[in-house]
Structure 1
Amino acid sequence: MTSPFAPMTSRESLATGQRSLGDPSVRFPLWPPLTAGCPVTGTGSVSYPVEVDYAYDKVPADLFATAPGRPRGHERWAPLLPPLHAPGLGEGGTPLVSLGDGLWIKDESRNPTWSHKDRINRVTVSAAVGAGAEGVVVASSGNHGASAAAYAARAGLRCVVLGSAGTPPAVDAFLRAYGAVVLPVPVDARWPLLRRIVERFGYHPVSNVTSMHTGHAFGPEGYKTLAYEIFVELGVPGAVFLPTGYGELLFGVWKGFAELVALGLADRVPRLYSCEPAAGGPLAAALRDEVPATRVSVGSTAAYAIASPVGGYRGVVAVRESGGRALLVSDAEMEAARSELARAGTWAELSAAAGLAGFRQLGPHDDGPVVCVSTSSGFKDRDLLAGDGSVEVDPEDWAEVERRVRTAR
């Protein structure tokens, strides 16, 4: 049997073009990146995303081998990523932490801006540099905006973040520290304003611009690296549980494992479980109704980072093709999962604990290890500064000291 690999030493991108997820026969050149979905297959009710294609027959033979001195971060996976025109910050390479009994946590809070969004923004800001844009614009109330601001600053680009009045104060300070222009606006006004800034200033959009989520063409490619890292360290797990908003992370992890199968390195894709807040759940609704994407009303939830009223076709593809399921988790379930992570030494945002919450809801798996992705740090929660905090104690009041020590968890 002929090897699908070619011996290569280059770490240059093997990206060849873009193709529609709605109809893979519809193809486009690699440049310019399509930031509003496929212009051919999209309709008034749904915009189909595009994905990046590669010269898979030229993948370096040693790309997934373990050896000392490997580049860290996206540089290691450059052949299977779009061109990395923007400098990195050491994104990726996050640890798998064992919780015992075959359960692993992929702790994405160890990324440079403490969330999984660094994997996507290294790639999308690179697209902005490659396209010759002077700046980037992003609609985000948290992780995505902070990450885009950091990578834009690193690349010497301007950054405009369209947030909302509910942006946590700590995150707002995070954004401004990178020199971003922060414009809090009503949520429904963010996307029309983003499109206007793109048209007026020529800034490159690094978040969604369409009514049904399509996102940046290059973005989910950065999330594939999460699948590569799991595979190199653990092999193919039985299942992966992921916090899910628009479904880009879900799709990126699915595509990463699907590529490993296509390259003959893995024999299957793990089942992927999307974990959305029960207050909304557009992906669960789309799968239930057998439509490419849909819109739902979102009730009250503290998991603001993944409380999306709209979904996208990428998530449908990932769950369907992996044989997984769309789960809905309550705030109480996420709070319990966040507490469990804290007891294990990982401080996670409430939204980030949705993957573990989904796993605990579904129950044990008996077909191999399970990975729950924890997407971001507890620093990002809106209730970070809520409560009274620790109260000073008189060191001579031994009764009070003893009471506190004994009541510690």
Structure 2
Amino acid sequence: MTSLATAQRSLADPSVRHPLWPPLTRGCPVTSTEEVAYPLDIDYAYDEVPADLFARPAAHGLERWAPLLPPLAAPGLGEGNTPLVELADGLWIKDESRNPTWSHKDRLNRVAVSAAVASGARGIVVSSSGNHGAAAAAYAARAGLPCAVFTSPDAPPAVASHLRAYGATVLTVPRASVRPLMLRIVDELGFQSVSSVTDTAHTGHPFGPEGYKTLAYEIALDLGRAPAAVHLPTGYGELLFGVAKGFRELARLGVTDSVPRVYATEPAAAGALTEALRTGRPVARVPVGPSIAYAIDCEISGYRGVLAVRETGGAARTVTDEQMAAAQAELAAQGLWFEASSAAGLAGFRAHGPHEADGPVVCVATSSGYKDIGTARHAYAPMDPDWQSIKTALTESEPPK
């Protein structure tokens, strides 16, 4: 199957269209202003979508959805088709930790790295302290492209190990230097950025969020319908936008008869999207405090998130570190181990609801517990092998009856 992608269009004014190539990674050159760099969306020839596209089950590898994705010029790693796990009372967890590099970012990078390959980029550059960098490095390696990753020296151990394993060039420079250096790598070395290079808003790669649409496709096929609501951890809002767009496409194509409300959950230490919606602005910048949710504590929002919430009738809310830790523990007690940021969607649902829903509710959990800041920093102390010590340890750990 071939891609039906036709053009890039401005999210500020969808009537403003640009050719599909090259990817406009610095925002729309027509509608962007000095205050806001507006991102691009991808349009498709929807009337040419094969009638049986959603009649078959999901499968590993985003090529399963090729007609509704930009051209997949880079090989994949079997991403997607992650499990939907039922908890109780109509609540489901979409477990994105089952992707090849243990996070949802594999979906974005399969598409964004493909765009780099198709447009002749000489390499990949990304700024990330976690999942995005690891996924970009993996898919660049798979495509045979060099990858430069600007990351924090305090990145979680699992992420640092990932980057080294994939052969990425890891660059740890002061934060203020990252954006200018990324632009020089793009302009002088011919690399393509798969993360945002704009200062006035998060624009990101225009093709990347298309990979997130496939979450919506899989959820709808697994449930046999669209859910009533979807709760997602939110940083810059690309995942939020992609999932909302996927459900809107399903309704447009007649696969489902509704679009779920999409709810963004941000750490209380940040909350840029929540602030943008509260003040009616396209983007907002907020001070960022310390948080266990390092993956989503973003100081600036993106316009994609505003659109996703408004167009689905959802909302953006914040949760505390304590609420995310409680959600993380709740999931672990069900055999599901996620980093704290990934539990934000469930934390938002538990803290804010709405708890009365006309249909199933899905919380997307984005990344494995291996990616948490504190993982692998502690070990168990040795203990005596006598029976009383063993018996005490086991009886004290028995679950409540």
Structure 1-normalised TM-score? 0.95
Displacement after TM superposition at 1:269 (Å): 1.0
Please tell me whether the aligned partners of residues 165 and 186 of structure 1 are also in contact (alpha carbons under 8 angstroms): no
- Give the equivalent residue in structure 2 for 1:80: 68
Displacement after TM superposition at 1:71 (Å): 4.8
Choose 364-373 or 350-359, whichever is displaced more.
Answer: 364-373
- Give the equivalent residue in structure 2 for 1:131: 119
- Give the equivalent residue in structure 1 for 2:346: 356
Residue 92 in structure 1 maps to residue 83 in structure 2: no
Displacement after TM superposition at 1:55 (Å): 0.3
- Mapped partners of 1:258, 1:272: distance in 2: 11
The aligned amino acid for 1:228 is: Y
Residue 241 in structure 1 maps to residue 247 in structure 2: no
- Give the equivalent residue in structure 1 for 2:247: 257
Q: Deviations over 1:39-85 (max 9, x none)?
A: 11001111111100000000001100135xx6532111000000000
Residue 320 in structure 1 maps to residue 310 in structure 2: yes
- Mapped partners of 1:38, 1:295: distance in 2: 20
Query: Closer, same or farther in 2 for the Cα pair 1:71/1:332, shift >3 Å?
Result: closer
- Mapped partners of 1:48, 1:16: distance in 2: 19
- Give the equivalent residue in structure 1 for 2:295: 305
- Give the equivalent residue in structure 1 for 2:207: 218
Secondary structure of 1:327 counterpart: strand
- Mapped partners of 1:404, 1:191: distance in 2: 51
- Mapped partners of 2:374, 2:396: distance in 1: 23
- Give the equivalent residue in structure 1 for 2:358: 367
Ranges in structure 2 where 5+ consecutive residues have no aligned partner = none
Please tell me whether the aligned partners of residues 229 and 357 of structure 2 are also in contact (alpha carbons under 8 angstroms): no
The aligned amino acid for 1:206 is: V
- Mapped partners of 2:265, 2:258: distance in 1: 22
- Mapped partners of 1:315, 1:327: distance in 2: 12
Counting only pairs closer than 5 Å after superposition, residues 182-221 of structure 1 correspond to structure 2 as: 182-211=170-199, 212-221=201-210
Residue 399 in structure 1 maps to residue 388 in structure 2: yes
- Give the equivalent residue in structure 2 for 1:7: none
Choose 183-192 or 125-134, whichever is displaced more.
Answer: 183-192
Secondary structure of 2:212 counterpart: helix
- Mapped partners of 1:360, 1:305: distance in 2: 20
Secondary structure of 1:100 counterpart: coil
Residue 118 in structure 1 maps to residue 109 in structure 2: no
Displacement after TM superposition at 1:150 (Å): 0.3
Q: Deviations over 1:231-251 (max 9, x none)?
A: 111111010000000000000
Q: Deviations over 1:77-106 (max 9, x none)?
A: 000000000000000000000111100000
Displacement after TM superposition at 1:12 (Å): 0.4
Residue 42 in structure 1 maps to residue 38 in structure 2: no
Query: Closer, same or farther in 2 for the Cα pair 1:71/1:93, shift >3 Å?
Result: closer
Displacement after TM superposition at 1:362 (Å): 1.8
Residue 55 in structure 1 maps to residue 45 in structure 2: yes
- Mapped partners of 1:143, 1:86: distance in 2: 19
The aligned amino acid for 2:174 is: P
Q: Deviations over 1:161-193 (max 9, x none)?
A: 000122123311210100000001222322221
- Give the equivalent residue in structure 2 for 1:227: 216
- Mapped partners of 1:271, 1:189: distance in 2: 39
- Mapped partners of 1:25, 1:366: distance in 2: 35
Displacement after TM superposition at 1:145 (Å): 0.3
Structure 2-normalised TM-score? 0.97
- Mapped partners of 1:107, 1:251: distance in 2: 18
- Give the equivalent residue in structure 1 for 2:15: 25
Displacement after TM superposition at 1:109 (Å): 0.3
Moved over 6 A (4+): none
- Mapped partners of 2:51, 2:300: distance in 1: 40
The aligned amino acid for 2:243 is: V
Secondary structure of 1:372 counterpart: strand
Match of residue 161, structure 1, among 143, 149, 152: 149
Please tell me whether the aligned partners of residues 133 and 202 of structure 1 are also in contact (alpha carbons under 8 angstroms): yes
Choose 357-366 or 222-231, whichever is displaced more.
Answer: 357-366
Q: Deviations over 1:107-148 (max 9, x none)?
A: 000000000000000000000000111110000011000000
Residue 107 in structure 1 maps to residue 90 in structure 2: no
- Give the equivalent residue in structure 2 for 1:150: 138
Q: Deviations over 1:203-243 (max 9, x none)?
A: 01000001110111101000000000001111110100000
Q: Deviations over 1:15-47 (max 9, x none)?
A: 001100000110000000110110110011111
- Give the equivalent residue in structure 2 for 1:376: 367
Choose 86-95 or 186-195, whichever is displaced more.
Answer: 186-195
Displacement after TM superposition at 1:264 (Å): 1.8
- CA RMSD of superposed structures (Å): 1.1
Secondary structure of 2:87 counterpart: strand
The aligned amino acid for 1:367 is: D
Match of residue 284, structure 1, among 253, 257, 274: 274
- Mapped partners of 2:116, 2:292: distance in 1: 33
Displacement after TM superposition at 1:392 (Å): 2.4
- Mapped partners of 2:17, 2:107: distance in 1: 25
Displacement after TM superposition at 1:385 (Å): 2.7
- Indicate the percent of aligned positions where both proteins have the same amino acid: 64
